[in-house]
């Protein structure tokens, strides 16, 4: 954890957003700051290097293995020479790795949004029918059109989200994302 960060404002804001997303998508403990400087136990490294997927996000891999993480406060000095490797486009690419490699939550949110739009459109259709029955002189038009568009859009988003959920689970399976990691054994099953 940096005591006094010497980064540009956009990097500080991006870091705060990344921290919020990592907390919700990866289950990162609140208050834990993800940094590029790490000290890891050999057992953790041994598990992390088993990952053979195309988009390795080291912090996500570490959080898959352990939640027993601590931070150390350090002074962050200003860069005196050269430029950092993480410009805006690389920072966004890193964030995309984190947001899409270790969670199906974004796909699940699309499913919920589709379900919500579908419900909203059904309520709107009921409203349009009630308005037409109560006020037959009202011209039919935009309200029914909007309700229909919302309904079709909601159903499409729901279906895309459901397909995405299956794809996300397949993706996590192909990346060999473990459901758990055995930290240690207290007995040998081969011994009698």
- Quick: pLDDT tens for 158-167: 888 788 778 8
Supply angle C-alpha 96, 67, 189, rounded to 5.
Answer: 115
**2 three-state secondary structure:** strand
- So what's the pLDDT on residue 146? 76
State the DSSP H helix or E strand holding residue 33, giving kind and residue range, or none if neither.
Answer: none
**Is residue 56 domain-shared with residue 127, that is, in the same domain?**
no
Q: How confident is the model over 8-19, as a mean pLDDT?
A: 78
| Cβ neighbour number for residue 64 with a 10 Å cutoff | 19
Does residue 190 lie in a domain region? no
- So what's the pLDDT on residue 181? 66
Task: List the one residue out of 69, 120, 144 whose CA is nearest residue 58.
Answer: 69
Does residue 184 lie in a domain region? no
pLDDT band per the 50, 70, 90 thresholds, residue 92: confident
Do residues 79 and 6 lie in contact, with contact meaning Cβ atoms separated by under 8 Å? yes
pLDDT band per the 50, 70, 90 thresholds, residue 119: confident
| Domains of the chain: total | 2
- Quick: pLDDT tens for 40-64: 888 888 888 887 776 777 888 888 8
Does residue 88 lie in a domain region? yes
Answer whether residue 103 shows pLDDT above 80. Answer: no
- So what's the pLDDT on residue 3? 62
Answer whether residue 185 shows pLDDT above 70. Answer: no
**Is residue 96 domain-shared with residue 135, that is, in the same domain?**
no
Which has the higher per-residue pLDDT, 1 or 7? Answer: 7
Answer whether residue 144 shows pLDDT above 60. Answer: yes
Do residues 119 and 79 lie in contact, with contact meaning Cβ atoms separated by under 8 Å? no
**Is residue 111 domain-shared with residue 96, that is, in the same domain?**
no
pTM: 0.56
Q: What domain range is 115 assigned to?
A: 105-174
**Is residue 88 domain-shared with residue 115, that is, in the same domain?**
no
Q: How confident is the model over 95-111, as a mean pLDDT?
A: 77
Task: List the one residue out of 75, 48, 72, 86 whose CA is nearest residue 176.
Answer: 48
Q: How confident is the model over 18-42, as a mean pLDDT?
A: 80
Proportion of the chain above pLDDT 90, given as a percent: 0
User: Which of the 8 DSSP states describes residue 74?
Assistant: B
**Is residue 95 domain-shared with residue 28, that is, in the same domain?**
yes
**Is residue 164 domain-shared with residue 115, that is, in the same domain?**
yes
What rounded mean pLDDT belongs to the chain? 77
């Amino acid at each position: 954890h940096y005591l006094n960060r010497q980064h540009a404002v956009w990097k500080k804001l991006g870091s705060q957003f990344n921290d919020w997303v990592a907390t919700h998508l990866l289950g990162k403990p609140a208050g834990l700051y993800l940094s590029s400087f790490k000290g890891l136990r050999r057992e953790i490294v041994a598990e992390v290097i088993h990952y053979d997927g195309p988009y390795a996000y080291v912090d996500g891999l570490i959080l898959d293995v352990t939640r027993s993480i601590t931070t150390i406060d350090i002074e962050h000095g200003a860069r005196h020479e050269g430029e950092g490797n993480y410009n805006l486009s690389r920072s966004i690419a890193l964030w995309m790795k984190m947001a899409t490699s270790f969670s199906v939550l974004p796909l699940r949110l699309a499913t919920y949004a589709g379900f919500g739009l579908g419900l909203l459109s059904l309520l709107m259709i009921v409203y349009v029918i009630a308005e037409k029955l109560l006020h037959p002189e009202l011209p039919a038009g935009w309200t029914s059109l909007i309700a229909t568009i919302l309904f079709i859009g909601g159903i499409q988003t729901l279906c895309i989200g459901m397909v995405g959920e299956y794809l996300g689970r397949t993706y996590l399976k192909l990346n060999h994302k473990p459901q758990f990691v055995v930290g240690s054994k207290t007995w040998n099953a081969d011994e009698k």
